[in-house]
Amino acid sequence: MKLTIDRMSLLRPLGHVQSVVERRNTIPILANVVLRAEDGQLSLTATDMDMDIATEVGCAVATSGTATMSAHMLYDIARKLPDGAEVELTVADGHASISAGRSSFRLPTLPVEDFPAISSSDLPVNFTLTAADLRDLIDATRFAISTEETRYYLNGIYFHKAEDGNLCAVATDGHRLALTRQALPSGASQMPSVILPRKAVGELRKLLDDYDGEVSVGLSETRAEFGFGTVRLTSKLIDGTFPDYTRVIPAGNDRIMQVDAASFSAAVDRVSTISSEKSRSVKMGLKPGTLTLSASNTDASSATEELEVTYDGPEMDIGFNARYLLDIAGQVNNDIVEFALADQGSPSLVRAPGDDASLFVLMPMRV
């Protein structure tokens, strides 16, 4: 195998695939990227056994062939070469030679046959989404993904067709829940309900950063594939049942408070300076027209701040984790945040007023 490619053309696709490769690998070949040079194209594939990313880029192929070599090493080499460098890559006799200008590198290779086969089972459901829509689905929910490994079924975003026929994305860690809906794309009416693991969500979101246009989605019960431009990301899905989240979305919360999102965030941030490291709790004291945020610590320090709000319900106190409040206030894409509260022990509903597409549920803390 022998090819020539300019540094920038190599760096970009390598950047896409190398991030899926785990830094530490017990199986040596999983640290490698598969390179395949053929018909003026270089295709690159990497995997962590749960997810793989494949992409391709045009190059001058002198001799076609395939090889695998350390993904991180090759990426670092490409990264450190000077701008505009012309890279020559040759594979022969179990090693790869990379040369550009006066630099040359030699990397060991491993046989392509040892690389795990990339799954390519049938994906019965296929549809397309715009990159912007997919970004919205991810951005509105990913912050609520649980990291608790014992609840593996919460370690991802749950994509499914909701009762109302919309495409719905949900994530929760048991303390907060984030949900967003969009019109179901055509072709998705038979889509299975799937849980896309956190790592795949992260990689997908990174790849979507510099892409605008249509994303093709292929789904089966066990696998999801996202294709856009020259990139294809395939991921296993979490084999588990997402809990029935509809039960915890409160329907009858009638104490409505509306507050300016920016001043609310700033005030929560200030007051929470005081709250104890462990609980990070902030108390919201409500009376008509006024919200009093307060926090205290066991060492007798305390803080309060008053905000003007729209509220005409009865006086009440309710406590929340400050971090969760900040996360959610940051997610509500609106100047005004609306809290629908019931009592200090029940979940609260947070959203932009009048926005039925996205909502957040927040479990209060005892304060």
Partner 1 sequence: MDDAKSFAVLCRECGVAGFVGAPKPPADCVVCQSRNIRSHPELFDLTIAHIDCDAFYASIEKRDHPDLLNKPVIVGGGDRGVVAAACYIARQYGVRSAMPAWQALKRCPDAVVIKPRMAHYTKVSRQIRDHMLSLTPLVQSLSIDEAFLDLSGTQKYHKCSPAEALMRLQKHIYADIGITVSIGLGPNKSLAKMASDRDKPNGFFVIGAAEAETWLAPQPVSVLFGIGKATIKKLHSAGYHSCADLVAANERHLAAVLGSQTRQIMALAKGIDQRPVTPERAAKSVSNETTFSRDLSAFTDLEAALERLCSKLAKRLKASQLTGATVTLKLKRSDHRIVTRSHSLETPTDKAHILFDVGRRLLVPETKKQLSYRLLGIGVSHLDHLTTQTLFEYNGGVDDKRNRLEAAMDQLQSKLGDRIIQSGRQFSRQQSDNADDDPA
For binding to partner 1 (CB under 8 A), which residues are involved? Answer: 146-150, 172-177, 243-245, 247-248, 278-279, 345-347, 361, 363, 365-366
Give me the torsion for CA of 75, 79, 81, 82, rounded to 10°: 160
Contact call for residues 346 and 339 (beta carbons, < 8 A) = no
The token pair that represents 57 in the structure block: 């880029």
Element (H, E) at 12: helix 7-18
Cβ closest to partner 1, residue 234 vs residue 348? 348
Of residues 254, 259, 253, 191, the one with CA closest to residue 225: 191
Closer Cβ to partner 1, 105 or 153, answer by number = 153
Cβ nearer to partner 1, comparing 175 with 236: 175
Q: How far is the CB of 142 from partner 1 (least distance, A)?
A: 16
User: What minimum distance in Å lies between the beta carbon of 345 and partner 1?
Assistant: 7
d(CA 253, CA 277): 30
* Integer Cα distance of 291 and 325 in angstroms: 14
In whole angstroms, the minimum distance from the beta carbon of 148 to partner 1 comes to 4
Instruction: Give CA–CA dist 292/63, Å, rounded.
Output: 72
Q: Taking a C-beta distance cutoff of 8 angstroms, is the pair 175, 324 a contact? A: yes
Q: And the tokens for 194?
A: 């799937």
Closer of 156 and 347 to partner 1 (Cβ): 347
CB 198, min distance to partner 1, A: 14
For residues 217 and 349, which CB has a smaller minimum distance to partner 1 in the complex?
Answer: 349
**Residue 150 Cβ vs partner 1, minimum distance, rounded to whole Å:** 5
Least Å distance, CB 120 to partner 1, is: 31
| Residue 172 vs 265, nearer CB to partner 1 | 172
Using CA atoms, how far apart are residues 71 and 147, in angstroms rounded to an integer?
27
